[in-house]
Amino acid sequence: MHVRITYVNFRSDEEAHGTCSTEVLRRRDKREKIRTAVKSPPKPSAIRTSGPSPLNLPTMSVLPPVRRDRVIAQLPQPFTKEAALHTKNEFHSRVKTACQEHKTGTVGFKISKVIVVGDLAVGKTCLINRFCKDTFDKNYKATIGVDFEVERFEVLGVPFSLQLWDTAGQERFKCIASTYYRGAQGSERSFWLHDAMKENDPSSVLLFLVGTKKDLISPAQYSQVEQDAVRLAEEMKAEYWAVSALSGENVREFFFRVASLSFETNVLAELEKSGSRRVGDVVRIHSNTSNVYATSKKKQSNCCK
């Protein structure tokens, strides 16, 4: 996996005059860390295999192991069935069968891309940090350009990875963030969706409308806000969730739902790809029967009769 890190170097007036603020020093330290990571990337850790290696070379661990709290055995339910991508209680039967028979193809090696877009200071970074690091920082720090985290799951016994992209909400970083929209399978809008959808096929994207900072609204106001949000989600054909990064309410359930639906979509696509043709089958071009596949039979020769 090749990772491209893009950063923008802004020289402020304080730096030019030699009086650096704490924020300027923080950003300078971050740039130095990025430069160090690019110049001297960490060496991958080696793992021991059961079989001997002919060249006595260690096998490299490409992906980190799955944490115990990232195991998904049942399909997580939507926040509300009034605005959900689907309301099934279980995974698709074909998906469960494929997982049981270990016929999920390359799904376990793929990384699904999830981008989080939204206006400035709506809580995108706090949402990701609460799930990935279980932390909440009350001191607001604007995202510079883009940042990302990789989370590993185990869904129905199959490893699955999500790449969570945290995009900057400031207008000056819009041109940078838009370059990372392509290839996204999941998109979350925290109360710039148009630009993200232009880079992808809308039919291949799972769209979520996320209402953040649920802890700041009173119960009396929340009822009306939720009705408006559900109506908007239905218009957008998105699934609605209300979360709180401060308290952690619904954050874990939301990301588990994103991972599960992304996994299900990937497995179904893999089955469709691998099952479109069967070895030894011939397609009938002109046939009145509903079965368009028929196994070809060798014609017997008359010379031996």
Domains delineated in the chain: 1-41 (no CATH), 69-274 (3.40.50.300)
The predicted-structure confidence for 149-208, as pLDDT tens digits, reads as follows 999 999 999 999 999 988 876 655 555 555 555 555 555 555 456 666 666 666 778 999
Task: Give the best-scoring range by mean pLDDT among 134-148, 195-209, 248-262.
Answer: 248-262
Residue 119 has pLDDT above 70, yes or no: yes
Question: How many residues belong to the chain?
Answer: 305
Q: How many CB atoms lie within 10 A of CB 288?
A: 5
Q: How many CB atoms lie within 10 A of CB 185?
A: 21
* Placement of tokens 């590993």 in the chain: 152
Please choose, from the candidates 241, 262, 263, 259, the residue with its C-alpha nearest in 3D space to the C-alpha of residue 250.
241
In percent, the amount of the chain with pLDDT more than 90 equals 42
Residue 39 has pLDDT above 90, yes or no: no
Residue 240 has pLDDT above 90, yes or no: yes
Structure pTM? Answer: 0.67
48: confidence class by pLDDT, cuts 50, 70, 90: very low
Residue-level pLDDT at 55: 42
Furthest-apart CA atoms within the chain: distance in Å: 102
Across the chain, mean pLDDT equals: 74
Tell me how far apart the alpha carbons of residues 268 and 200 are, in angstroms, rounded to a whole number: 19
